[in-house]
Amino acid sequence: MTQSLIFDIKRYSINDGPGIRLTVFFKGCSLRCRWCHNPESLLPQRQKLYSRDKCIACRACVDACPQQACSLDDEGLVTDASLCQSCGNCAKVCPTLATEMTGRFYPQDELLAIIEKEVPFFDQSGGGVTFSGGEPLLHMPLLLDLLTACGERHIHRAVDTSGYGRSEDLLNVATQAELILFDLKLMDARRHKKFTGVDNQLILGNLSLLAATGAAIEIRVPLIVGVNDDAQNLHQLAEFVARLPGQRPRVSLLPFHNVALHKYVKLGQKYESGTMQTPDSEQLQQAAEIIGAPGLDVRVGG
């Protein structure tokens, strides 16, 4: 049976495409954006999360761990990563959900059943399903099967991608989606590599190829002060988007918020974007003006 590793399914999602949507978040991503607000999305495997403030120090996890990887100290649960095999027994017995496993394999039929439950909301709002991540393109051919199955059910489909994947996959996916939400971050290749860990040539090339097919695209730009809010980057970005073949995509500016720290803490990781800043409304307005200059439709908020 084909299964997809999913780390979250959000109902009443109103920021990921038109109408009321259900967003499926795949786990696993090739990028390592420093500002990433979903750090649990990055690795393509199940991971353990721990919240100290929910822990009642009951020791149930310590007793349940077959590898003796769990122990308790004054700071709460300590997991010895060298012993932990991510079996999830600790999460199963945890009474308070202080310990949780992120990532669950969903059989396709179960995922479709969940999506179909939302059809009344899609129908009333012109909404549908959005496949996001992580990077959904890493989940071929499962993603394509899911999209096809949703299409057969007349469900509006959106795919939110970093654009960093095989061109062939992206173009195939686009034939089975009504909307591609395409993330654009930095136009300068060196800075892109520095802040996301990967080159942007593939991304920009994919975007051009995609646009040439006439696919409906919405460009999503996370705006992070000090990273990509400079006039030069925004200007280049706007020019690039404006020169794309096909219909002109709308651009959404998503102001960065320093909100994901607790997720990094739960994963036991450091958050590198701790010093990054949230744009204020003036900065957002300026950015919107620059991007809108070549005649693009810009809006703030996802």
Partner 1 sequence: METSDQRQAFPQRKAASEGNFYADKHHEIGPGMNPRIQRLRKRSVETVPSLSIERALHETAFYRENYGKYSIPVLRALNFYDHCQKKTLYIGADELIVGERGPAPKAVPTFPELTCHSVGDFKILNNREQQPYTISDEDIATYAREVIPYWQGKTIRERIFSHVPQPWQAAYEAGLFTEFMEQRAPGHTALDGQIYHKGMLDFKAQIAGEIADLDYLNDPTATDRFEELKAMDISCDAVILFAERHAELAEQLAAQEQDSRRAAELREIAAVCRRVPAHKPQTFREAIQMYWFVHLGTITELNGWDAMNPGHFDQHLAPFYAAELAAGTLSREQAKELLCCFWIKVNNHPAPPKVGVTARESGTYNDFTNINIGGITAEGWDGVSEVSYIMLEVIEELHILQPGNAVHISAKTPERFLHAACKVIRQGHGYPSIFNPDVYVVELLRQGKSLRDAREGGCSGCIEVGAFGKEAYILTGYLNVPKVLEITLNNGVDPLSGKKVGIETGDPRDFATYEELYAAFVRQLNYIVETKIRVSNYIDRMFAKYAPAPFLSVVIEDCISKGRDYYDGGPRYNTNYIQCTGLGTVTDSLSALKTHLFEQKTLAMDQLLGALAKNFAGEEFLRQTIINKTPFFGNDDDAADEIALQVYADLLAAIDGKPNVKGESFHLNMLSTTCHIYFGKMTGATPNGRLAGKSISDGTSPSHGADTHGPSAVIRSLTKLDHSLSGGTLLNQRFLPSLLKRDEDIVRLGQLVRSYFTLGGHHIQFNIVDTATLKAAQESPEDYKDLLVRMAGYSDYFNDMNADLQQEVIDRTENEAF
Number of chain positions touching partner 1 (CB under 8 A): 41
Asked if residue 62 binds partner 1 (CB under 8 A), the reply is: no
Instruction: Give the nearest distance from C-beta 110 to partner 1 in angstroms.
Output: 13
Asked if residue 154 binds partner 1 (CB under 8 A), the reply is: no
Q: Which among 65-73, 241-249, 257-265, 288-296 is the span making contact with partner 1, rule CB under 8 A?
A: 257-265
Task: Please give the Cα distance from 153 to 151 (Å, whole number).
Answer: 5
Nearer to partner 1, 169 or 229 (CB): 229
Asked if residue 226 binds partner 1 (CB under 8 A), the reply is: no
Asked if residue 222 binds partner 1 (CB under 8 A), the reply is: yes
Nearer to partner 1, 169 or 222 (CB): 222
Task: Please give the Cα distance from 249 to 246 (Å, whole number).
Answer: 9
Q: Which among 68-76, 195-203, 231-239, 258-266 is the span making contact with partner 1, rule CB under 8 A?
A: 258-266
Selected binder of partner 1 within 1, 73, 75, 259 (CB under 8 A): 259
Asked if residue 14 binds partner 1 (CB under 8 A), the reply is: yes
Asked if residue 270 binds partner 1 (CB under 8 A), the reply is: no
Selected binder of partner 1 within 30, 51, 67, 286 (CB under 8 A): 51
Judge contact between 189 and 223, C-beta under 8 A: no
Nearer to partner 1, 157 or 220 (CB): 220
Residue 19 corresponds to which tokens in the numbers above? 């109408």
Asked if residue 124 binds partner 1 (CB under 8 A), the reply is: yes
Nearer to partner 1, 169 or 195 (CB): 195
- Which of these, 251, 89, 256, lies nearest to 182 by C-alpha position? 251
CB atoms within 10 A of CB 281: 9
Nearer to partner 1, 130 or 233 (CB): 130
Selected binder of partner 1 within 40, 118, 169, 229 (CB under 8 A): 118
Task: Please give the Cα distance from 24 to 143 (Å, whole number).
Answer: 11
Asked if residue 225 binds partner 1 (CB under 8 A), the reply is: no
Nearer to partner 1, 214 or 274 (CB): 274
Asked if residue 125 binds partner 1 (CB under 8 A), the reply is: yes
Nearer to partner 1, 100 or 145 (CB): 100
Selected binder of partner 1 within 120, 205, 226, 274 (CB under 8 A): 120
Task: Please give the Cα distance from 210 to 216 (Å, whole number).
Answer: 9
What does the radius of gyration of the chain's CA atoms come to, in whole angstroms? 20
Asked if residue 10 binds partner 1 (CB under 8 A), the reply is: yes
Where on the chain is the footprint of partner 1 (CB under 8 A)? 10-16, 19-20, 22-23, 37, 51, 53, 56, 58, 60, 95-97, 117-118, 120-121, 123-125, 127, 220, 222, 254-259, 261-262, 265, 301-302
